[in-house]
Amino acid sequence: MAGRSFVFTSSALRSLQRDQDLLDRDRHRRQLAEHRVSSYVPQWAREPPGTGSVRPPVLCEDVVVHNALYTGDLQALQRLFPAGSSADVTLEPRGGDMRWVPAGDGLWSLTYEQELTTPLHVAAGRGFADCLKHLLQRGADVDRAPGGSTALHESCDSCQPECTKLLLMYGADANAMTDDGLMPLHVCTEPQSLECARYLLQFGAVVGARSAEEDDTPLHVAARGGLADHVDLYLRYGAPVDPVNREGLTPLNAACAQPQEARDLPRYFQVCKRLLEGGADARTMDQDRRTPLHLACKSANPDVVELLLAKGACVNDMDYGGEAPLHNILKVVCFKVDHQPHRIVRALLNYGSIRVWPGALPKVLQHCSPSPRTIEVLLNAYSRLKVTEAWREAVPAELLEEHPVFFQSVFSLQDAPRSLQHLSRCRLRSFLEGRVHEVVPKLELPDIIRKYLLLEYRGYVH
């Protein structure tokens, strides 16, 4: 090694040159294949299998066949697989990602990653329904899985409903399992796979089937992916709503635990809403005693938090770490400002959540200062605050400049008591003891007072 360069040995250079020659040769073969595909017929097509015998699948490495399959050239396939021939072959395609593999004598060779597949897999994964039908009519084994998964898995994973339906009509096993223990319903993980899932269920797929490794049901997969329409479909087909997987998660827990960007929040709200309407338990704990409310606070989904509270979630359940849902949201505020974390803190406090120990408020202030609204809601749950210089030191200078009015209102409490109006609010909230969310909206109060009692954001504390 000299400077930033790497010294190649003569053996390594010869290996690299050999790899380049192989790549050039393969490229040349592909170019030739484009010109001769119209007249080419492979050996097995000219010699149909004898009657009364079952011929094992042929390993096909011919680039002519590969080119026709990967481009969806039906006319070429009709010539390559004429009447009386068998399309039950195995492919070892060239191309894809490249990687270094040991070549012996301390040398490494740069080669393509290769995985056995079949013509059915290629056609099904690319949505070539006409080609797929022709291959099936030529006797291709619909359930063969040389690479560990069937063509049906491929079509579902690629969201190709027409190919999925065609495979099922030709007898594909709707409950076939991959080497990783997944059934076709388990690979329906995109919104566009809804039709594939519907066809699978119509052809006998087990809606409550479990994956081998994670013990997930299709409902777990749909909930984790935020697929509300899939959840509806599975529930209509009788999927159990609260099965527990190997991690102790129900589908509702799995949906709440999934990391969510701001754009994903509505999708996961719809999933949780439909699961709860289907009878899901809002208080089921996982192996760490975390409830859906704990998990929804960690993922900072305010609509889901409000929904869970309305459905009976306990606001003060503790997990094995001794943390309540309020602790979970306060720990992620600085990362989830665009998720409106103040709404979650307000909802928890209105339902009677325990508060933060006053001595820890400077640390909370430091961590949550990017969201002044969250700090305001939290501080307004206390009738007395012991504001010190440590509070001012906890807020970064750039945030002091960005929100001067709010933070100045906080620091001014160092030498002054809370207002009588605020003390009256605290007294009433204390009297209601966690029923604020239920009682205050029923009172005939002006809207501004009702919002004040429910800790609506005002932009300052007093």
User: What amino acid is encoded at 331 in this protein?
Assistant: K
pLDDT greater than 80 at residue 21: no
pLDDT value for 70: 86
> To 10 degrees, the CA torsion angle through 153, 269, 220, 291?
160
> What are the tens digits of pLDDT across the range 137-180?
998 999 999 889 999 999 999 999 999 999 999 999 999 999 99
pLDDT value for 22: 65
- Identify the structural domains of the chain with CATH numbers, from first to last: 1-42+57-205 (1.25.40.20), 355-462 (no CATH)
> Average pLDDT, stretch 328-336?
96
Mean residue pLDDT across the chain: 87
Among 3-7, 54-58, 256-260, 279-283, the range scoring the smallest mean pLDDT is 3-7
pLDDT greater than 80 at residue 461: yes
pLDDT greater than 50 at residue 299: yes
Q: 3-state class of 22 per DSSP?
A: helix
Residue with tokens 């690479």: 147
**Length of the chain measured in residues:** 462
> What are the tens digits of pLDDT across the range 425-457?
999 999 998 899 999 999 999 999 999 999 999
Find out whether 255 and 268 touch, Cβ atoms under 8 Å.
yes
Find out whether 188 and 214 touch, Cβ atoms under 8 Å.
no
Between 309 and 4, residue with greater pLDDT: 309
Q: Tell me which long-range contacts 438-445 makes (C-beta under 8 A, separation of at least 24).
A: none
Separation CA 290–CA 257 (nearest Å): 10
Q: Could you give the percent of the chain with pLDDT greater than 90?
A: 71
DSSP class per residue in 339-399: G-HHHHHHHHHHTTPPPPPGGGHHHHHHHHTT-HHHHHHHHTT-S-----HHHHHHS-HHH
pLDDT band (50, 70, 90) for residue 9: low
Between 155 and 26, residue with greater pLDDT: 155
pLDDT greater than 70 at residue 203: yes
pLDDT value for 39: 41
pLDDT value for 34: 44
pLDDT value for 50: 47
pLDDT value for 180: 92
> Average pLDDT, stretch 224-235?
98
The model's pTM: 0.82
> What are the tens digits of pLDDT across the range 89-145?
888 765 555 556 566 666 666 655 557 889 999 999 999 999 999 999 998 999 999
Find out whether 344 and 331 touch, Cβ atoms under 8 Å.
no
Element (H, E) at 104: strand 98-104
> What are the tens digits of pLDDT across the range 346-364?
999 999 999 999 989 999 9
> What are the tens digits of pLDDT across the range 257-273?
999 999 999 999 999 99
Q: 3-state class of 176 per DSSP?
A: coil
> Average pLDDT, stretch 203-231?
97
> What are the tens digits of pLDDT across the range 37-86?
334 445 544 444 444 444 566 677 667 788 888 889 999 888 888 887 77
pLDDT value for 318: 95
Element (H, E) at 92: none
Nearest residue to 311 (alpha-carbon basis) of 349, 353, 276? 276
109: burial class by Cβ within 10 Å (0-12, 13-18, 19+)?
middle
pLDDT value for 95: 55
pLDDT greater than 60 at residue 399: yes
pLDDT greater than 70 at residue 4: no
